[in-house]
């Protein structure tokens, strides 16, 4: 998938922006606080209808404005043009359109524009709580599998309803219908995640050995409350029943894929607990490289790659290697304080950002 044109109105610190881009690599340079990350955020929003930052839609408004609009013109692998529009008004909320037809749900856009995002904040994936790794896997699967997206949405809806009933001290009988729904969709999600890890773990290992050393082994394993041989709705319901007393005290569902983890280990040592800073950086880069490879293998369209301010995270050699690697998978957008000395292709387009004003430079 290629982003040809992007238009912004009243988005973050951008008053108005209209630009076209290279189909290969695009380099965006500027000092901190000028709008580089905001620019990548707009592309990410067009792809998955949400920011990669912890914020709500109102936070995306330019100061003292009551609406914003983001429009993108894309070209897919079949050379078919796709138009995506995301607009928000403080009065009416968010609207998402695909090919100038309004979508009934923002989630309907997910998967149309595959995207891989990598920034200094991504370190939470390897060093943060399980929710960070679940978010990575769920977003990747939701973008590459409509069936998984549907199951995940239904699971989240059922979980919300069941937790609301727990908060009302509902009886086990009252909870039964939502427990059945959780068991149904939860089993599907767990099975899909297991299949994903089987395919994804070798990609992560290969990428890590390319970055670090062939002598190191990076393992990715899926930890679920239901073992592979026990994954049935009946066993799922038994676990829910056994945890009922704890659930009533905590007012939250204690069993299900929303509590699982994806554990990373180097030569048998859990990365989150024992990994060095360098190992965390190499692992995160390997995960993102594997993500791009996975999309290339599983999706009809190559992903758009967003690399944000990696000069602060990677040394010059690793950064050049990363940029060179990612250019093989799809269109690339890279932001940095200063131009990269190596790694960018000769035909890369270059832009400069100053106080929300972005222009092409030779």
Residue pLDDT, tens place only, 194-252: 999 999 999 999 999 988 888 889 999 999 999 888 999 999 999 999 999 999 999 99
Look at residue 340 in the predicted model and tell me its pLDDT: 63
Element (DSSP H or E) covering residue 253: none
**Residue 150 φ/ψ, nearest 5 degrees:** -65, -45
Look at residue 261 in the predicted model and tell me its pLDDT: 98
Look at residue 298 in the predicted model and tell me its pLDDT: 87
Look at residue 344 in the predicted model and tell me its pLDDT: 57
Residue 7 exposure: Cα atoms within 13 Å on the Cβ side: 11
- Which residues in the chain show pLDDT less than 50? none
Structural tokens at position 292: 């791009």
Structural tokens at position 106: 């923002």
Look at residue 346 in the predicted model and tell me its pLDDT: 61
- Please say whether the beta carbons of 41 and 14 come within 8 A: no
Q: In 10 A of CB 326, how many CB atoms?
A: 25
What residue spans define the domains of the chain?
Answer: 145-276
Length in residues, the chain: 362
pLDDT by residue (tens digit) across 259-292? 999 999 999 999 999 999 989 989 999 999 999 9
Look at residue 318 in the predicted model and tell me its pLDDT: 76
Compute the distance between CA of residue 180 and CA of residue 121 in angstroms, rounded to an integer: 37
Q: Which CATH class is domain 145-276?
A: mainly alpha
**Residue 55 φ/ψ, nearest 5 degrees:** -160, 170
Q: What is the pTM of this model?
A: 0.92
Look at residue 329 in the predicted model and tell me its pLDDT: 86
Look at residue 316 in the predicted model and tell me its pLDDT: 75
Look at residue 264 in the predicted model and tell me its pLDDT: 98
């Amino acid at each position: 998938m290629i982003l040809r044109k992007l238009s912004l109105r009243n988005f973050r610190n951008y008053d108005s922006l209209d630009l076209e881009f290279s189909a290969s690599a695009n380099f965006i340079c500027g000092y901190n606080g000028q709008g580089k990350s905001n620019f990548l955020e707009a592309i990410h929003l067009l792809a998955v209808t949400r920011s990669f930052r912890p914020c709500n839609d109102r936070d995306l408004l330019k100061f003292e404005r009551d609406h914003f609009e983001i429009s993108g013109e894309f070209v897919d692998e079949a050379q078919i043009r796709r138009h995506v529009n995301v607009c928000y008004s403080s009065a009416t909320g968010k609207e998402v359109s695909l090919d100038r037809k309004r979508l009934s749900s923002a989630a309907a856009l997910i998967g149309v524009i595959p995207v891989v995002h990598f920034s200094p904040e991504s370190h939470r994936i390897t060093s943060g709580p399980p929710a960070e790794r679940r978010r990575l896997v769920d977003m990747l699967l939701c973008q590459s599998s409509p069936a998984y997206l549907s199951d995940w949405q239904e699971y989240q809806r059922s979980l919300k309803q069941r937790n609301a009933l727990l908060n009302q001290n509902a009886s086990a009988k009252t909870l039964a219908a939502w427990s059945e729904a959780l068991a149904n969709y939860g089993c599907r999600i767990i099975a899909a995640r297991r299949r994903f890890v089987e395919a994804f773990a070798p990609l992560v290992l290969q990428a890590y050995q390319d970055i670090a050393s062939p002598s190191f082994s990076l393992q990715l394993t899926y930890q679920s409350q239901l073992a592979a041989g026990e994954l049935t709705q009946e066993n799922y319901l038994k676990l829910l029943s056994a945890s009922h007393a704890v659930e009533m005290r905590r007012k939250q569902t204690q069993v299900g894929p929303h509590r699982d983890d994806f554990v990373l280990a180097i030569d048998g040592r859990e990365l989150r607990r024992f990994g060095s800073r360098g190992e965390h950086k190499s692992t995160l880069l390997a995960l993102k490289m594997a993500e791009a490879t996975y999309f290339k293998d599983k999706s009809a369209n190559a992903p758009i790659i967003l690399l944000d301010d990696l000069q602060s995270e990677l040394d010059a050699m690793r950064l050049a290697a990363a940029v060179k690697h990612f250019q093989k998978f799809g269109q690339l957008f890279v932001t940095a304080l200063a131009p990269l000395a190596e790694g960018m292709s000769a035909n890369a387009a270059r832009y400069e950002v100053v106080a929300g004003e972005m222009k092409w430079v030779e």
